[in-house]
Amino acid sequence: MERLNYNRMAGKNLHRLEALADGVFAVAMTLLVLDLKVPAAEAIHSDAGLAAALLALTPKLVTYLMSFLTLGIFWLGQQAQLNLLERSNRDVVWTHIAFLASVCLIPFATALLSEFVEYRLALVFYWVVILLQGLLLALSWKLSRKAGLAKDGLPDGIDRAIYRRILVAQALYAAAAALCVFSNWASIAAIVLLQLNYALAPRIGRFALP
């Protein structure tokens, strides 16, 4: 089989993986909003009542925004890695499928956290999903390098930059999650600030990942 347009196939497979990932992220992003339930009409009799009901949705809106940031960050993180690959193999594809499985857990983890926003366990569960995503991205890069799937001409320090980036991000996530000892809201605020920082000032270290 290797004689058969191998490169074209390999590139095609990468394209398929990207298309699957874009689909999973798009659905996960949109499903987040399904958790924003429209208030029950029976209980509401005025604009003021509706305003109160919408204000009561604020915790859900905050967790919605946090999860949208989470999904955006990991969508970009996966994209940055896939951009550096020339082709893929089964191990790498399966690591990415496992990564997508953890991405699919984000809407559940978000709904859990917004329903039990005062419960430490809900916060820890959310953090475990983030940890899992980081671990799987790191594993996927390790497997890609081991199998020589990366493009030629990558700069020397690229591996260290990628691992450090994941490590630093996960250390900050863990620190933010640890704040739940004091209060879940402190954790959530720290995670949101951390992610806004990544979104608004994403350059870390010498390499500006694409």
Residue 146 in contact with a copy of itself, rule: CB under 8 A: no
The C-alpha atoms of residue 198 and residue 201 are separated, in whole angstroms, by 5
State the minimum distance, in angstroms, from the CB of residue 167 to a copy of itself. 19
Q: Which residue in 20, 139, 172, 204 binds a copy of itself (CB under 8 A)?
A: 20
Residue 4 in contact with a copy of itself, rule: CB under 8 A: yes
The C-alpha atoms of residue 34 and residue 208 are separated, in whole angstroms, by 35
Whether the CB-CB separation of 188 and 63 falls below 8 Å is answered with yes
Considering the complex, state which of residue 50 and residue 186 has its C-beta at the smaller distance from a copy of itself: 50
**Interface size with a copy of itself, residues (CB under 8 A):** 75
Q: What are phi and psi of 182, to 5 degrees?
A: -85, -55
The C-alpha atoms of residue 187 and residue 173 are separated, in whole angstroms, by 9
Residues between 101 and 120 with contacts to a copy of itself, criterion CB under 8 A:
101, 104-105, 107-108, 111-112, 115-116, 119-120
Single-letter residue type at 209? L
Residues between 30 and 59 with contacts to a copy of itself, criterion CB under 8 A:
30-34, 36, 38-39, 41, 44, 47, 50-51, 54
Q: Which residue in 94, 168, 183, 197 binds a copy of itself (CB under 8 A)?
A: 94
The C-alpha atoms of residue 60 and residue 69 are separated, in whole angstroms, by 14
